[in-house]
Each structure stands twice: as C-alpha cells, then as structure tokens.
Structure 1
C-alpha cells in the first residue's frame, strides 16, 4: 500500500480513552502492589523518568513530518526503543522484579483490555455501512455532526466516531475544502458528545465505579455540554458556509452521488448493544472472584467482559456481508498501528502517572497545590484547567482519578460539592480534543480520513485549530460555570 494511504498514527496518551473511555476499562490505580519488589507507585520519582514518554509523544508529532518513510516502516521499533529506554534504567535502579510487575500490570490490566475493546468497536462499527450519500452542504454537515454528538453519550465516543465518520467522509468527498469538517467532528463526536453518561468517556465511567450516581453527569454536565456543543456547531456552520462559498469545483461529478439512505450490516447494531452491555455489566457485577495470571490478580468480571468482546468481534466478522466492509473500505491497518504505538505509550507513561499520584509529595507538588486556596478549599477553575491540560497529553482516565482523589475521593461528598466534580469531569472529557493524542478516537478519525484522501492538519496544525476554536469556548465555560 502507498505510504500516504496508510499513515495510521493513532495514539492516545495514555490514551486509553474514547470508548475505552467510553466504557471505562482502565483500572482504578496505575500500579498494583506486588510481591518481589517495591511498588512503583510508592517510589519517589523525578521528572527525568518522564523523558521517554515525552520522546514518544514528540516522535508521533514530528517524525511523520521530518522522516515520514522511516516512521511509517519503523514506528513499532521506535515505540519499542522508547519503552526500553524507560524499562532498562528502571530495572537497573529498582530491580528487574519491580519493573516486570509494573509492566505486566500495565499490559494485563490496561493495554490488553483497551486493545480488545477498541478492536471490538472498530470491527463492529466497520461492519455497519450507511449507504446513500448527501451533498455535504453546511446544513447537512451540521446535522450529521449533531447526530454523532448525541450518539457519543449513548454508545461512547469511539463507537459514535467509527459509525459516523464514513458517512461524513462520503458526504464531503466532492468538497475541495473538507479537513475542517473532520476537525470539528473530532471536537464534537470524538470528545464533547461523550460527557453526559458514564458510557460516553472513561473518566466518567471510573467516577461511576467510585460511587458517582449514573445520572449525575446528565443532570450536572448537561448545561456545559449543551453550551459547548452549541458554540462549536454554530462556529462550524459559519465556517463551513464560508468554505462552501469558496468552492470552485462544486459542479464536478461527485464520486458518490446522492442516493437514498440505508444500512447494510444491520446485525452489527445488535453487537454494539452487546458491547455496551458487557462493559456496563463489568462495572456493576462484582462477584469478588479473582483469577491469577502470571502473578497478577484479574477480576472475573473483567475477564468475562474481555471474553465477550472478543466473541462479539468474531461474530461480527462472521455475520457481516463482505459488501458492507468493502463499502466502508475497511482495513486492519489502523488497529495494527494502534497496537504498536499504544504499547509504547502505555509503558512509558508508567512513571508519569506515578508522579501524578504522589500528589503533594511528588515532583509535581507545585502543580497540585494550585487546586486549593489558603483555607484549603478547592478552586474549581484550577481543577477544570489542570485536569484538562493534563488530560490533553496524558490519559484522561487516571488524570481524572488523580484529581478526584485530590478533591477528597468521597463520591457522596463530591456530588454534594457540585462545582468541583463538574470541573474535574468537564476538564477530563472536553479537553481530550485539544490534541490528536488526547483521546483514542481522535487519531482513528484522522487515520481513516487520510486513508480516504483528506489532507488532515499535522499534529501541531491540529493544535492550532484546537487552540483557536476550543480555548475561547473553554474560557466561556470557565466564566459561566467554574469562576
């Protein structure tokens, strides 16, 4: 395949977000206490340990621009190299057993569940071919984005993004200027739309597991979510109308001319429901049974969930007409690269999460102290921006938990102090859209769009869009809800 057709750089800082997110498969701790070596979460680590993670992110951001061919052919080796740059010195400093325990815990509790869930969602949504085509006019595009935004809180940001991205691409394949449509798609469908239920984004699911009422987010995040989404949809419509007026080739033949809408592979809607039910069930069913695998204690409900997800993916492949995947131009390229890059991200982020969890006793103590005033009362605006800033580059699920615990860690108390929990939740979910690595679906949308020939912004180009569009919106949210 040509290089420009397979640039699937799909990373998510600690990325396990989106639908992962959506469904909260991440454990409640970055590390588990283990035998045979010190618990990495209890170690006093300096910021130097975060260099491999920073290098991993810079590789994702810069190498496709300065060494695209090398990056495409060797990104797995590069990710493995940065992971080794953390693991080998860590083993020399704290012992092979402690390093093995930390890495194995990350792989079994976080990486594999994430990849399994993402693969299941990718496989199932890739088997739903929404047939027919629209003009891709400003009005129709705005409606498509609005539909995807609503679906994100029902089926998760990854599920909604994978379902809606192909119809959006087909609707705009005759447009000369269409990258902005996908940028706003990421803002809305892959991020902001998942803020209303614990199924929408992983931080909210983890809050649900910690005791936050299932409908708390709907009651208290509805207003900021609606405000943000209305602002974004309004800006999108105005910008899309401007681009539409500038089109000089609108009359050329549309590669996918207008035709009635329909669905091929409808069985996959059932499999999507099963995925949502399986993940939700794993957060509710607590049999108290654990299974020992390579010295790691894995909860039975999580193993059951992962087995169901694997089975659903296989059933989707068996029951989906080949024509459906053909019409979606379905390939395994994005998932293969997700597996490579996420492995490097998950391993190199281990010390970064440990530093954050150390709170006021860690290397980022000065940052943590900004969340409280002189009387020790929480500062909502600080929680919103700090949770959001770290969620933009780290994993928003553990970042959410860090600040959740910093604010007291008692769900009942935090639900009573509405503004603080609102700030933590909104910051974690909304600001995942700031970078391509802020949430799992972001890079998946980018990869699929590029595979279809859309010239998406570079890593820093996308940040230019997000800073110009999102930051004013976040300032408005701050003034209305968190000051």
Structure 2
C-alpha cells in the first residue's frame, strides 16, 4: 500500500514542472485525497486506528512546532547595510549553522532567509537558496537535540543531551565547511551586481527583536515531555494528558499554537511588512505534509519490520547509507528511531539507550554516530527531507526566485554536491 506515497512524491516532483497551474490550485486536495486512501486502508482493511492516531499526533506536533517559529521569525527584521560578497554570504551560512542548534533548523531558516535574499538583490540565484537549505535548514543542526527532530527523539529515548555536541562536532565542521567552500567557489563566479555603486553604511539593524522571546518560548516548550520532566506535578499533568490516546493535542501542542497566536497579534508591523510576511509557506507545508504523514505509514512499517528482522546482519556502513537514503524521502525522525532500535537490538538491548553502549570506544558508539549524522545530513537531499526546505523554497519563489523542480534539485544540486561530501563523512565514521 505504498502506491499513494509514490504517487504523491511523483506529483510533487512533476507538478510544478509540467502542470504548474493545476498543481498550484489543487496540491492540497491531492495530498488529502491520497492520505484519505491510505487512511481508509488502515481503518477498513487492516482495522488499525492506532497507527493513524499516532500519525495524527506526530503531524499536529510537527505543525505546532513550525507555526510559532515561522510567525515569530517573520516578525523580526534584519537589515544588513552591506554589499553582498561571497565572504559575507558564506559567513551568514555559518552563522545560520550555529543558530540552527539553538533555535532549530526551522527557526534559523525563517530568521535568516529574508535578509540573505535582500543583501543579494540583483545577484540572487537559485543556488543561493539551495545552499542555504543545505547548510542552515539541515546540516547545521546536528550539534544539539534542539537542532533537528531525530536528535530530539534520540534525547527522549536516552541519548544524553550533550552527546551530539561532544561526538558529532567534527562531522559538523566537515559537512558545513565543505558545503560552504563549494558555495564560496560558485558564488565567486557570480559577477552580477558588481557595477552597483550604491553606498552602503555597513550597519546592522534589528527591528522586532521582542519576537525572539516567542522563538525561545517555543524551543522551551519542546522539552515539555514526560520523558524529560521525570517527576513533580508537571510530570503528572503531562503524563495524564499524553495518556489519552484519542487526544491529538497535548499540553505542548496547545502552547505552540498559543505562542503562534500571541506572536502574530503582537508582532512588529513594520517588520512584517518589510519581510513581505504571509501564510502561504506554512500553509503549503501543512497541506502537503498531512498527505505525506499519512501515505508514508506503510513505507515506515516496511522499514521498521526490515530493521527489526535484519538489524543484526547490518554493519555500520549499511546503517549510515540506509538511514540517509530513506531520510531524504521519508520523515527522518521515525527513520532514525527505527534504525536506532535495530542498532540497539544488535547488542541485545532496547530503549532507553544505555549510556555505556554509546560512550566513546563502546560497541554502539559508531552506530549512533552513523544514524544521527545520516538522518540530519541527508534531509538536504530533497525538498521533503526536512520541513524548512519547503518553507524556504516557498519564500524564495514568492520573492521571484525560479527554484528548480523536485527532480532538478536532486540531479543538478544535491546529488553532485552533497553525495561526494557524504562519502567523505562516511570514510571518517
């Protein structure tokens, strides 16, 4: 029953290219219809509502997290009164890679994409946006559980909070460093706008910084989970709320949407106007991903079954490439969990992750490295590999950038640029 998922992926790939008008006006209906087909199969054929309820909970948590980060970032205006250069552009990408670990890849992407495009006015090309997606929306977020959802799930399952920082920092340096070097070389060949003699003051201005409070509040709410808060009245409340299997919204999700509402109502209007803020990017993600979350369930089940039955036969190299390849086209969070569970099974243990198994030099250490790096890095391989990818693409298109279609993105950019870098990362695992 993976056919609806395959059809949806094919339509995402071909729609904007071959039947753009029809796709633009109907993508939400198509995603919902294909999701409904898969949902009906689970209900009426498999008599399985638990999987759908779980998918619904994950979807609302997913949209709940993205919405306040998107709105709050739209209320912050960054004016860079400086002429764009390959060096300045590279510096912004590196800053974004740092920020991704403090405010999630979504928060960093939404905060920086607009000023990044504005300083490159007159020389802005699709490659600017694509490298931004590579670095800020994906690879940069590998240092903390805040950075990307798979790592946060790992944290909830017992991986120490600072394990990623202390054990994956060298992969971050190599991944971010090599991608930025390639970007610098390409950007240095872009001579557009060089004859612009406009005087620049070199100043950096911020408008609407109060919205940072909402971003920080959203990041803080991520930790409202019984797996993190292990005792006290708040733990009892969270456990009670999470215990209702029919309840799609937990306390955390309600707070996400409350923060989003307050962030919008109290946002700086000047910042919103100059940022050309509108809801189209988040709505596009909401519509498409409801279909993706439903239609990918059979594929995730196949992966889970394969990992569970064959995990003991797979080596660290297979874990790296399998986790990565599937994270590019599926939700990288459950893909990460399935392969992490299989890796633990190799050593006769299960969740929560035993700390002695993943300590430096321990047997499970390299497996967790491989799964973590692959799940985060390979999210950059496609537009659907990570949520910020689609949102950045949508914002860029609204600003007149002709972004490559799904297949073009992979064939022209991610495969020739990222795969060789991921091979280098693989060699040092």
| TM-score, scaled relative to structure 2 | 0.90
- Structure 2: distance between partners of 1:83 and 1:427: 27
Pick one of 234, 239, 246 that aligns with 1:296: 246
Note the alpha carbon deviations across 1:358-394, whole angstroms, 9 max, x for none.
Answer: 2367xxx6xxx3x555xxxx52111111100000001
Note the alpha carbon deviations across 1:98-138, whole angstroms, 9 max, x for none.
Answer: 34x4333322x111111111111101111011123332211
Equivalent runs, 1:4-19 vs 2, <5 Å = none
Match of 2:189 in 1: 242
- Structure 2: distance between partners of 1:279 and 1:293: 18
Q: Taking structure 1 as reference, are residues 228 and 120 closer, same or farther at Cα in structure 2, changes over 3 Å only? A: same
Pick one of 75, 78, 95 that aligns with 1:147: 95
- Structure 2: distance between partners of 1:372 and 1:463: 32
Q: Does 1:264 align with 2:216?
A: no
Pick one of 293, 313, 323 that aligns with 1:387: 323
Match of 2:171 in 1: 224
Match of 2:347 in 1: none
- Structure 2: distance between partners of 1:200 and 1:294: 29
- Structure 1: distance between partners of 2:319 and 2:245: 37
Note the alpha carbon deviations across 1:207-261, whole angstroms, 9 max, x for none.
Answer: 10111111110111001111111111111111110123xx3x532587x966622
- Structure 2: distance between partners of 1:158 and 1:317: 17
Q: Taking structure 1 as reference, are residues 257 and 340 closer, same or farther at Cα in structure 2, changes over 3 Å only? A: farther
CA drift of 1:91 comes to 3.6
Match of 2:121 in 1: 173
- Structure 2: distance between partners of 1:86 and 1:190: 29
Q: Secondary structure at the match of 1:262?
A: strand
Contact 1:391 / 1:432 at 8 angstroms: preserved in 2?
A: yes
**Bigger RCO of structures 1 and 2 (CA < 8 A, at least 6 apart):** 1
Match of 1:349 in 2: 296
Q: Which moved more, 1:324-333 or 1:347-356?
A: 347-356
Structure 2: gaps of 5 or more residues: 345-349
CA drift of 1:303 comes to 2.0
Match of 1:27 in 2: none
- Structure 2: distance between partners of 1:388 and 1:258: 44
Contact 2:285 / 2:390 at 8 angstroms: preserved in 1?
A: no
Q: Secondary structure at the match of 1:402?
A: helix
Pick one of 7, 14, 27 that aligns with 1:62: 14
Q: Secondary structure at the match of 2:145?
A: coil
- Structure 2: distance between partners of 1:90 and 1:274: 37
Q: Secondary structure at the match of 1:120?
A: helix
Equivalent runs, 1:305-344 vs 2, <5 Å = 305-344=252-291
Pick one of 325, 330, 337 that aligns with 1:401: 337
Contact 2:143 / 2:165 at 8 angstroms: preserved in 1?
A: yes
Match of 1:15 in 2: none
Cα RMSD after superposing both structures:
2.1
Aligned length: 410
| TM-score, scaled relative to structure 1 | 0.80
Structure 1: gaps of 5 or more residues: 1-48
Q: Does 1:106 align with 2:42?
A: no
- Structure 2: distance between partners of 1:360 and 1:122: 35
Match of 2:218 in 1: 275
Q: Taking structure 1 as reference, are residues 360 and 210 closer, same or farther at Cα in structure 2, changes over 3 Å only? A: closer
Q: Does 1:434 align with 2:381?
A: yes
